[in-house]
A and B are shown apart, each in its own frame.
Chain A
Amino acid sequence: MIEYLVTKHSYWFYIILIMMGFYGMMVKNNLMKKLIGMNIFQWSIILFFISIGAKKGATIPIIETHGVLNQAVRAADYINPLPHVLMLTAIVVGVATTGIALALLIIIYQNYGTLEEDEIIEALKK
């Protein structure tokens, strides 16, 4: 168990974040807090993907060419670039989701004067 906790710390760490975000989304009554929970949920997945690409003893994936390419490039020297590319997409999706969610919250606040979910449901019933 200890060995698992020490060597694979990145996994149980992202699981804690995901569960915090998930709990926040499910339980919070205020829509803005639900949105914040959703953001935590999205960004913990980005943390998980980035931890995949890590390699011990490797540097950032910019290949030193300094002019001529003298020796063959060894893949072990550079970390895995693919998760970083995927996560650029996920970050942009997160930004876009937050943008649209804030626009929706403005409309809801404009129409119902509140962001509390139960008050909105009452206002809708009338």
Chain B
Amino acid sequence: MLALFITMIAGALLVYSAEEFPRWGDPQQPASIHVSQRYIEKTVEETGVPNAVTSVLADYRGYDTMFETSVIFSAGVAVMMLLRGMRHGKNPR
């Protein structure tokens, strides 16, 4: 019961604070004005790639994607380390 109560309180607080967000799909909301206009207008001119998502993904914020690939690489290494050799009794206790 306590957990349900906590969740309700947190949900109410979030809904109360979400009132100030811009309306859904509003073309003048700050997120659509401030940074992303350059991505859309200049992507073909600066990177030659018509797909704006790929150009932002690999070029403007390519560093994020490098660490993203490293995240999935670390997950692969972690699963390999945890589960290899499970049968021969050397599994972690």
A residues with a Cβ closer than 8 A to B are: 4, 7-12, 15-16, 18-19, 22-23, 26-27, 51-58, 61-65, 69, 72-73, 75-76, 78, 80-86, 88-89, 92-93, 95-97, 99-100, 103-104, 106-107, 110-111
Q: Interface majority SS on A: helix, strand, loop or mixed?
A: helix
Closest chain B CB from A63 CB (angstroms): 5
B residues with a Cβ closer than 8 A to A are: 3-4, 6-8, 10-11, 14-15, 18-19, 21, 23-27, 29, 31-32, 35-37, 39-41, 43-45, 50-53, 56-57, 61, 64-65, 68, 71-72, 74-76, 78-79, 82-83, 86, 91-93
Q: Are the C-beta atoms of B93 and A111 separated by less than 8 Å? A: yes
When distances are taken between beta carbons in the complex, the residues of chain B under 8 Å from A8 are 18-19, 21, 23-24
Q: Interface majority SS on B: helix, strand, loop or mixed?
A: helix
- Measured CB to CB, the nearest residue on chain B to A60 is B53
Q: Are the C-beta atoms of B15 and A15 separated by less than 8 Å? A: yes
Task: Name the residue in A57, A78, A84, A85 with the highest tally of chain B Cβ atoms < 10 Å from its Cβ.
Answer: A85
- Measured CB to CB, the nearest residue on chain B to A25 is B3
